Structure 1
């Protein structure tokens, strides 16, 4: 069901991940502060980044997810990454996650544009009825950002994820449903200076 697509607004592009982006991906994510609430630093070394990307690309080829690199259109610079994954065909649900944004572009238009593009694709193209977004319980910046775009807080999943060092984290679970999407969409559009900045283009992988 997942077929890699390029999603873009006037300001960013979400481009399906390929290994040609390895160096740019690592450069965007090679900041320890990005990973302080995650299980591990996926860009700590080039080898770790390569293995993480290869795993994502393999799952894309199996049709299980779409992993994107986030590209700033003005500079043509890779500024982060995000994914659509955990597709449940029976219940028509999926998750948005594995998201990071390089520090220079945090608290900018990037998160709103990226979430808009993926939510529109999920609800209007894939006809999903539920989209989940999860984050570490302690990551208040991420929780605030998810709430700001219209995510509904459902609760805390206790001891939900295990990190490589064996410790468990609690996960804050948010969701957006298809009946909520029109209001969420309107809210996201209002965050832009001009509505046309959120016009979406969907094209085949190139």
Structure 2
């Protein structure tokens, strides 16, 4: 694997800016997670005061190893950090990666911000990194996330039963979705249409 495949990049849209995550974002991420007390959701991984330092350390270690590129999500209208997302499980040799560890403050969920963030990430992955596939993974019980991934135009590849053990000792069934480079032109048109529709609705 080439550790230089994923390089620091800021992705800019009309509504959102995706900026490289650093240790300096600790307090802002906690503030974002507290909007909706997201760290209480048992089926997803959102940092709280009890694990924010381990969360940041793991993200930056994976980045250093060339496995991930973590971002903070900035709402361009308010200037606030409202969540985080990252490229992860990257394999440069096979030109594959996953978009994961995505979460947003309650106040910006189901807005144009998320749609635009995904469009930015996918565009960079397919058109700059030359990916042949981008994966999305989520907990079987995270029905909102599964529906949101499907709305992106991703196809469900399958379910990994008892895939990983969570901190509480329970086993997670992981639902795997993907968009391939062959799917990308239609998926891009679909995401652009969704974004334009949201902007028109919210205008």
Same fold (TM > 0.5): yes
SS of residue paired to 1:70 = strand
Q: Which residue of 1 aligns with 2:17?
A: 13
Matches within 5 A, 1:32-71: 32-33=37-38, 35-38=40-43, 41-43=46-48, 45=49, 48-71=51-74
Shift of 1:8: 1.2
CA displacement, residues 75-126 of structure 1 (integer Å, 9 cap, x when unaligned):
0000100010111122211111001011111111122111111111110000
The answer on whether the counterparts of 1:4 and 1:60 sit within 8 Å (CA) in structure 2 is no
Distance 1:70 1:39, change over 3 A: closer
The answer on whether the counterparts of 1:34 and 1:103 sit within 8 Å (CA) in structure 2 is no
**Within 1, Cα distance between the matches of 2:93 and 2:39?**
34
**Within 2, Cα distance between the matches of 1:94 and 1:17?**
18
**Within 2, Cα distance between the matches of 1:193 and 1:89?**
33
Q: Which residue of 2 aligns with 1:74?
A: 77
Q: How many residues align?
A: 194
Q: Which residue of 2 aligns with 1:104?
A: 107
Shift of 1:53: 0.9
CA displacement, residues 43-84 of structure 1 (integer Å, 9 cap, x when unaligned):
2x1x52122112212322332210000000010000100010
Matches within 5 A, 1:122-201: 122-193=125-196
SS of residue paired to 1:132 = strand
Give the aligned CA root-mean-square deviation in angstroms: 1.9
Shift of 1:35: 4.9
Q: Which residue of 2 aligns with 1:3?
A: 7
The answer on whether the counterparts of 2:44 and 2:142 sit within 8 Å (CA) in structure 1 is no
The runs of 5 or more residues in structure 2 that have no matched partner are: none
* Larger RCO of the pair (alpha carbons < 8 Å, separation 6+): 1
The runs of 5 or more residues in structure 1 that have no matched partner are: 197-206
CA displacement, residues 25-47 of structure 1 (integer Å, 9 cap, x when unaligned):
1111124346524355522x1x5
CA displacement, residues 144-194 of structure 1 (integer Å, 9 cap, x when unaligned):
110111010112110012101211011111000001000000001111238
